[in-house]
Amino acid sequence: MTAREPIHCDLCIVGTGMAGMSAALFAANRGLRTALVGRTGEIIFATSLIDLMGVHPVESGTVWADPWAAIAALVRDQPRHPYALLPSEAIRSAIDELLDFLEANEMPFRGHPDRNVAVLTALGTAKTTYRVPLTFWAGVEARERKRPCLLADVQGLKGFSARQIASAASTSWPGLRTTRLVLPRVAGSGEVFAERLARALELDTHRRLLAEALAPHLAGVEAVGLPAILGISRSVAVLRDVEQRLGMPLFEIPTMPPGTTGLRLKETFERGLGAKGVTLFLENRVLAASMPSSGDFVLEVGRIEPELTIRAPMVILATGRFMGGGLKADRQVVRETLFDLPVHQPAGRAHWHREEFLDPRGHPVNRAGVCIDASFRPLDAAGRPVHARLFAAGSILAHQDWMRMKCGSGLAIASAWAAVGQAVGRLGRRKPPSS
């Protein structure tokens, strides 16, 4: 192997989902020299809604208005859930710190103090979440007050029918009217892609065309809902501009992924983390890692072949689950892909999934993952930390089912915050490497 000059840092974060991105922010804010490695494949699927805790117990499908009370109940009933390791002040600080960062980078979020909100989805269901991008907020308020609104969809944008949404939501939100916008001069003809439309609407002339198309349908409505197409990097400015032209509040509804919402998060993080001095290795993976008992972790990074080496005394594993690539299953077992850490899992494939997809209890394999100690360090088979300076955060953690509990981003952010806190605490204690 040719000797490459390694890149040195205090902390290497593996994974660029919500957990990895958040961890990089927290580490940079605490003055750690931080490297972040990951493909940006998965975050673009995210809705960008920040769930904290919504449903418990999942068996009964009980939806909570107060996420903090829901977490308290969850931790009481399921003490192995990772939230049990996180005092509510820690979760609160983590979310505040992250949202401050996103706001400073032109992606502000809104919500009610200490309360969940309900967001209308692209199927007309109501999704319980905690914080929503500002561009969704007028919809949350309008729904709460049952204001008469216009929902518009766009000809050529598949999987998003205003008529369907209004019809499905009609019992809880009766005053919804619909229209279909035909915008060939903004998005071209034929199939319309949300991202393309969003980027087009960053131009003034296209916004004028959008406002003109909406204008004839505004009589008697108090707000307008659109699929999430209002810009990528400047969504709030785009929203405000169109609102001004219409003279009424405007809101977005997340489309089917991959849409614009995940892309906004990704671009915002990349911009903001770069500015904070995080060394980013995007579109890269850690291909191999060694874990000496003393001294630095050595991580080989590249797209397909190793292209560079990172040496860091501490690593946070935020590689996600099957979709992210942190876990992988063959026909018999689930493995952790980078360090081959022990994975808590049901005994055999026959027990991974229930017979019905929508079984309210959720599928047991969703609770498989890496077990951690109170310091967010992965545990070995004997229940001891695998390594004093290896931490894990996000959906790779065992004993949670974020898809059913609606705790995805909240858990990712809070566990990242706690893992970084542990890393900061340990940096001082580390012996200097003996040369």
- Interface residues with another protein (CB under 8 A) are 45, 47, 49, 55, 61, 63, 121-128, 156, 158-161, 163-172, 189-191, 254, 256-257, 321-323, 328-331, 349-350, 352-353, 355-360, 362-363, 365-366, 402-404, 406, 408
Q: What mask of x and - would describe binding to ligand FAD in positions 323 to 352, judged by CB under 6 A?
A: xxxx-----------x--------------
What single DSSP character describes residue 199? H
Other beta carbons less than 10 A from residue 119's beta carbon: 22
Please select the residue that binds ligand FAD; options are 39, 245, 271, 430, rule is CB under 6 A. 39
Cis before 257 (ω within 30): no
Conformational region of residue 297, where left means phi above 0, alpha means psi within -120 to 50, and beta covers everything else: beta
From the list another protein, ligand FAD, none, pick the one residue 412 interacts with, judged by a Cβ distance below 5 to 8 Å according to partner type. ligand FAD
Long-range CB contacts (within 8 A, 24+) of 190-196: 190/156, 191/156, 191/158, 192/154, 192/155, 192/156, 192/157, 193/157, 194/157, 194/227, 194/228, 194/229, 194/255, 194/259, 194/260, 195/232, 195/259, 195/260, 195/263
Instruction: Report the residue number, 95 or 253, with the smaller CB distance to another protein.
Output: 253
Q: What's the sign of the alpha-carbon dihedral 207, 211, 214, 218? A: positive
Instruction: Report the residue number, 94 or 201, with the smaller CB distance to ligand FAD.
Output: 94
Closest CA to 372 of 362, 354, 386: 386
Instruction: Report the residue number, 68 or 352, with the smaller CB distance to another protein.
Output: 352
- Are 97 and 50 in contact by the 8 Å Cβ rule? The answer is no
- Only one of the segments 149-157, 230-238, 241-249, 402-410 lies at the binding site for ligand FAD (rule: CB under 6 A); that segment is 402-410
Instruction: Report the residue number, 257 or 385, with the smaller CB distance to ligand FAD.
Output: 257
Instruction: Report the residue number, 46 or 122, with the smaller CB distance to ligand FAD.
Output: 46
Instruction: Report the residue number, 365 or 371, with the smaller CB distance to another protein.
Output: 365
Which residue is listed with tokens 């915008």? 183
Residue 309 binds ligand FAD (CB under 6 A)? no
Please select the residue that binds ligand FAD; options are 47, 116, 309, 422, rule is CB under 6 A. 47
Instruction: Report the residue number, 65 or 291, with the smaller CB distance to another protein.
Output: 65
From the list another protein, ligand FAD, none, pick the one residue 224 interacts with, judged by a Cβ distance below 5 to 8 Å according to partner type. none
From the list ligand FAD, another protein, none, pick the one residue 286 interacts with, judged by a Cβ distance below 5 to 8 Å according to partner type. ligand FAD
Q: What's the sign of the alpha-carbon dihedral 422, 423, 424, 426? A: positive
Which pair of tokens denotes residue 22?
A: 């958040």
Question: What's the CA gap between 181 and 38, in Å, rounded?
Answer: 38
Please select the residue that binds ligand FAD; options are 255, 395, 400, 422, rule is CB under 6 A. 395
Beta carbon of residue 165, minimum distance to another protein (angstroms, whole number) = 7
Q: What residues between 73 and 132 interact with ligand FAD by CB under 6 A? A: 129
- Are 253 and 154 in contact by the 8 Å Cβ rule? The answer is no
Instruction: Using DSSP bridges, classify how beta strands 306-312 and 314-317 pair: parallel, antiparallel or unpaired.
Output: unpaired
Question: What's the CA gap between 267 and 286, in Å, rounded?
Answer: 21
Beta bridge partners of 372: 378
Instruction: Report the residue number, 207 or 377, with the smaller CB distance to ligand FAD.
Output: 377
Residues that bind ligand FAD (CB under 6 A): 14-20, 37-39, 41-43, 45-47, 49-51, 129, 257, 285-286, 318-320, 323-326, 338, 394-395, 402, 408-409, 412
